[in-house]
Each structure stands twice: as C-alpha cells, then as structure tokens.
Chains A and B, each alone.
Chain A
Amino acid sequence: QQQVKQSPQSLIVQKGGIPIINCAYENTAFDYFPWYQQFPGKGPALLIAIRPDVSEKKEGRFTISFNKSAKQFSLHIMDSQPGDSATYFCAATLTGANNLFFGTGTRLTVIP
C-alpha cells in the first residue's frame, strides 16, 4: 500500500518556468512533510519541509503548498534553472517516528 502518492512521474519545463509536483497522503496522523532532491548517483538531500499548522512555506525559489483537508501538498520551483534538474521525492511521517514514507519520485528536466 502506497502511503504517499506522487505525480507526475516526469516533468520537462523551460528555464524560468514553474514546475509543480503534487503529492497526496493517506494517514491523517502524518505531521511532517519534507521534500528531497536527488541528483544522479547521489543520496536524497532535504530541500524543504512543512508541518500541517501552515498552508505554505517558502525557502528561496522553493515553495510548499499544503492542503490539510484534501490531504495534499505540492512543491513549486520558481524561476527554474537547468541546475534544478534532478529527481524530487515527497515524503511524510509522524514526529518521533522511525521512518519516512516516500513518494515514487518526479524526474524534473529544466531545458536551457
């Protein structure tokens, strides 16, 4: 059973565009929603995270939007750059839990 569903599987945008990656979760007890960025051959690196007490969080060009009632959250990348080309994973967990539940990943390509 996939606890976190992620879409799209892949995404291609022009430089300067705003790619949006969506995730939906099942467990209403989840209270921490991070996004990870993974470059080829590297491990996932934490990009930005949100808790359900806010509907939006922005760090630089990266923004998370969170809809608690719909059990959905999304990542927006403003003014995307070729260097943002990577695979992005959403995840969810409970505070104090032993593990993260990951989405299946979105491969983003930003064309110069």
Chain B
Amino acid sequence: NAGVMQNPRHLVRRRGQEARLRCSPMKGHSHVYWYRQLPEEGLKFMVYLQKENIIDESGMPKERFSAEFPKEGPSILRIQQVVRGDSAAYFCASSPLGTATEAFFGQGTRLTVV
C-alpha cells in the first residue's frame, strides 16, 4: 500500500506564474488535508477536503489559492500569480475517517518562487 504521494517534489515558478501541486491519498482514504510549512516554522493547516467537497478552508488565504479533490484523480492545490512569500513546503495528508488524528503525511512539494 503506497503512502500519500505528492508531486512534483520540487517546483520552481517565476513571480506571476501559476503553481499546481498534486496529492494522491493513500488507498482507501477519501479525506485530504493540505498544510503549509514556511521556513523555520511549523505546519499550518490550509484546507480539508473530501471527494468533490471542500469541508473546511479556514486556513486558506482568501486570494489566489484554491483546492479541489475531484471524484477521479488527485487532489490539487492551485496557487495563482505566485509571489515570493508563497515559497514554502506544502504537505498533503490523508485519512480514512476524516479525523486529523489519523492522517498520514506525504513527502511534500517544495515550491520556490523566483
């Protein structure tokens, strides 16, 4: 059973471009969480999704950021018009029952905005 798969592992974007981060949850998991880790900081919750639904987006910046988890395929975190401050590691976690206490994390996507 493969773990949570994130790709790409590293992503470089110029200011103003779009970044798309993908997350495939563990087999049998239908709940996905996205966290952001800024340099020298802990992880901060961004959004929680179930298949085709956003359940909690209380941690998402109001502009430029969006997330989806379609019926088929991976969850996508999309950042439009990236700025230098978006440079961070973005981690996805998945769980089978929708509780954060049972979530497993992927290896992350490290976004660098130049």
Chain A interfacial positions (CB closer than 8 Å to B): 4, 6, 32, 34, 36, 41-46, 49, 89, 91, 93, 95-105
For A98, give its contact among B4, B41, B56, B105 (CB under 8 Å).
B56
> Which residues of A are found within 8 Å of B25, using beta-carbon distances?
none
Q: How far is the CB of B105 from chain A (nearest CB, A)?
A: 4
Contact A6 B42, beta carbon cutoff 8 Å: yes
Tell me which residues across on chain B come within 8 A of A95, comparing CB atoms. Answer: 99, 101
A44-B45 in contact (CB<8A): no
Please count how many residues in chain B sit with their CB below 8 Å of the partner chain's CB atoms. 26
Residues of B that sit less than 8 Å from A by CB: 4, 6, 33, 35, 40-45, 48, 55-56, 59, 91, 93, 98-101, 103-108
Query: Which residue of the partner chain, among B4, B43, B55, B98, contacts A102 with CB atoms under 8 Å?
Result: B43
* A99→B48 contact, CB < 8 A: yes
| Separation of A89 and B37 alpha carbons in the complex (Å) | 12
- CB <8 Å contact, B56 and A44: no
Contact B101–A93 (Cβ < 8 Å): yes
- A97→B42 CA distance, assembly (Å): 18
Q: Given the complex, which residues of B lie within 8 Å of A100, measured CB to CB?
A: 43, 45, 100-101, 103
CB distance from A84 to the nearest CB of B (A): 19
B42 near A89 with CB under 8 A, answer yes
Known A49-B101, A96-B99, A97-B100; judge A42-B107 contact (CB<8 A): yes
